[in-house]
């Protein structure tokens, strides 16, 4: 380090949406029930704005004031229960901008959870039948808005860009400070990260690489895609973030691993293991997981803890990325 990268990051322009730092909490009762000694949760469910979650940190960078110069309308896309769309719609409301969300269907008859919040924040919802139609439709809507005299800004799906991932480079700095304040550093700290469009994991990977912390291993647990796709996307986004920060070091790519054994019948479809994880977090720690991302990631962590990879001296951290409106859908 010492090359000014962290200073560039700290002074990078952003919109301050999040309540930071989020808490790093011990999970003693869950640790006892699992026979683990050193188990923690990083509460990014509590980033605060619009019910919080990981998207808040990314959108702080994507929606920095100079990027919004002249912009009148935000446009993004996601699934019918998208957390990213919830926070984008809330940001538009807060900033006095219009918002259109392109959501894959079906259109809910009685919107609940995030679908209810998309509408509460007054977004225009355009429903498409299939996930593959979202990006082309977003482009078409952007063109129509521009022709009508609006200045739309398209926020890529999940805000998982080099710029958006800077929110999780900052989170890496925050987490490392909290971990170091616990006491002597264990040989290895393993952080479980719910993963889909990979911006969260990419930011953490870039952050740990910049900070020179190979003792922090990251495990991305997939909500949908196979591990090799996630690895490629994570590295690409992290490299894009590194370029923005003008950081020329090597990514600690050996310190990131992927678990894709919890996808089950697909994105958003609960499995026996994910339902068990929701119950365990609720009953032992009073924590609310969401069915699509954090429940599957927690199931991946539980599977890992009971297997051969875990070592008794490991410190284990679960990154709680939020999404709880999805549980109430
Ligand atoms: C609650 C929650 N957790 C995790 C993720 C995955 O984060 P990323 O898309 O950065 O991989 C998402 C993304 O949609 C999310 O909404």
Concerning whether 82 is annotated as a catalytic residue, the answer is yes
| 286-311 pLDDT tens trace | 999 999 999 999 999 999 999 999 99
Do 5-54+161-328 and 64-154 share a fold? yes
**pLDDT tens digit sequence for 72-118:** 999 999 999 999 999 999 999 999 999 999 999 889 999 999 999 99
Residue 45 CA: which ligand 1 atom is closest? 1
Distance 132 CA to ligand 1 centre (A): 18
Band (pLDDT 50/70/90 cuts) for residue 35 is: confident
- Residue among 323, 324, 326 to mutate when testing ligand 1 (max atoms within 8 A of CB): 323
> Can you give the pLDDT at residue 105?
87
pLDDT of the residue at 216: 97
pLDDT score of 1: 56
Nearest CA to ligand 1 atom 4: 194
Average pLDDT over residues 206-214: 97
222 lines ligand 1 (CB under 6 A): no
If you average pLDDT over residues 206-210, what whole number do you get?
Answer: 98
Q: Both tokens of residue 312?
A: 């008794």
Can you give the pLDDT at residue 65? 97
- Distance from residue 196's CA to the centre of ligand 1 (Å): 6
The pLDDT of residue 198 is above 60: yes
**Best residue for ligand 1 mutational test, from 50, 54, 328 (most atoms within 8 Å of Cβ):** 54
Ligand 1 pocket, residue 198 CB under 6 Å:
yes
How far is the centre of ligand 1, averaged over its atoms, from the C-alpha of 54 (Å)? 7
Whether 199 shows a pLDDT value over 80: the answer reads yes
CA–centroid distance, 88 to ligand 1, in Å, is 14
User: At residue 56, does pLDDT exceed 60?
Assistant: yes
Nearest CA to ligand 1 atom 1: 323
Pick the CATH number of 5-54+161-328 from 3.40.50.1100, 3.30.460.10, 3.40.50.2000, 3.40.50.620: 3.40.50.1100
3-class secondary structure per residue, the chain = CCCCHHHHHHCCCCCCCCCCCCCEEECHHHHHHHCCCCEEEEEHHHCCHHHCCCHHHHHHHHCCHHHHCCCCEEEEEECCCCHHHHHHHHHHHHHCCEEEEEEECCCCCCCCHHHHHHHHCCCEEEEECCHHHHHHHHHHHHHHHHHCCCCEEECCHHHCCCCCCHHHHHHHHHHHHHHHHHCCCCCCEEEEEEECCCHHHHHHHHHHHHHCCCCEEEEEEECCCCHHHHHHHHHHHHHHHHHHCCCCCCCCHHHEEEECCCCCCCCCCCCHHHHHHHHHHHHHHCCCCCCCCHHHHHHHHHHHHCCCCCCCCCEEEEEECCCHHHHHC
Q: What is the mean pLDDT of residues 145-154?
A: 97
Q: Is 54 in the pocket of ligand 1 (CB under 6 A)?
A: yes
Task: Provide the pLDDT for residue 36.
Answer: 87
Atom of ligand 1 nearest to the CA of 202: 10
Residue 329 has pLDDT above 80, yes or no: yes
Is there an atom of ligand 1 within 6 Å of 73 CB? no
Mean of pLDDT values over 210-224: 97
pLDDT of 170-191, one tens digit each?
Answer: 999 999 999 999 999 999 999 9
Candidate list 37, 66, 82, 270, residue with the active-site label: 82
- Is 80 exceeded by the pLDDT of residue 270? yes
What are the angstrom distances between the C-alpha of 272 and each of 1, 162, 232, 295?
45, 35, 29, 10
Averaged pLDDT for residues 250-254? 92
CA dihedral 196, 197, 201, 203 (to 10 degrees): -160
Determine if ligand 1 sits within 6 Å of the CB of residue 53: yes
Q: Mean pLDDT across the stretch 309-325?
A: 96
83 lines ligand 1 (CB under 6 A): yes
Fold observed for domain 64-154: Rossmann fold (3.40.50)
Query: CA 318, CA 190: separation in Å to the nearest integer?
Result: 8
CA of 268 to the centre of ligand 1 (A): 12
- Domain boundaries of the chain, sorted by first residue: 5-54+161-328, 64-154
């Amino acid at each position: 380090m010492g090359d000014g990268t962290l200073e560039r990051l700290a002074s990078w322009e952003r919109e301050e949406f999040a309540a930071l730092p989020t808490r790093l909490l011990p999970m003693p009762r869950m640790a006892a029930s699992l026979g683990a000694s050193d188990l923690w949760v990083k509460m990014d469910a509590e980033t605060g704005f619009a019910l919080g979650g990981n998207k808040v940190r990314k959108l702080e960078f994507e929606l920095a004031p100079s990027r919004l110069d002249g912009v009148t309308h935000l446009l993004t896309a996601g699934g019918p229960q998208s957390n990213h769309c919830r926070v984008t719609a809330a940001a538009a409301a807060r900033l006095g901008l219009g918002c259109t969300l392109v959501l894959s269907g079906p259109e809910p008859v009685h919107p609940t959870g995030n679908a209810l919040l998309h509408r509460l924040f007054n977004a225009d919802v355009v429903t498409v039948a299939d996930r593959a139609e979202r990006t082309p439709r977003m482009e078409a809507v952007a063109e129509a808005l521009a022709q009508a005299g609006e200045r739309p800004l398209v926020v890529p799906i999940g805000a998982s860009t080099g710029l958006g991932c800077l929110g999780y480079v900052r989170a890496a700095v925050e987490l490392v400070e909290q971990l170091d304040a616990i006491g002597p550093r264990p040989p290895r700290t393993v952080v479980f990260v719910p993963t889909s469009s990979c911006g969260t994991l990419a930011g953490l990977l870039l952050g740990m690489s910049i900070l020179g912390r190979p003792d922090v291993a990251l495990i991305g647990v997939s909500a949908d895609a196979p591990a090799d796709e996630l690895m490629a996307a994570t590295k690409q986004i992290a490299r894009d973030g590194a370029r923005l920060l003008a950081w020329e070091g090597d990514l600690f790519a050996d310190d990131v691993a992927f678990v894709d054994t919890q996808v089950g019948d697909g994105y958003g479809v609960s499995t026996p293991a994910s339902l068990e994880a929701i119950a365990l977090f609720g009953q032992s720690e009073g924590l609310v997981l969401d069915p699509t991302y954090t429940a599957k990631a927690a199931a991946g962590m539980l599977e890992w803890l009971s297997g051969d990879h875990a070592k008794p001296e490991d410190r284990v951290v679960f990154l709680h990325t939020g999404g709880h409106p999805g549980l109430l859908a």
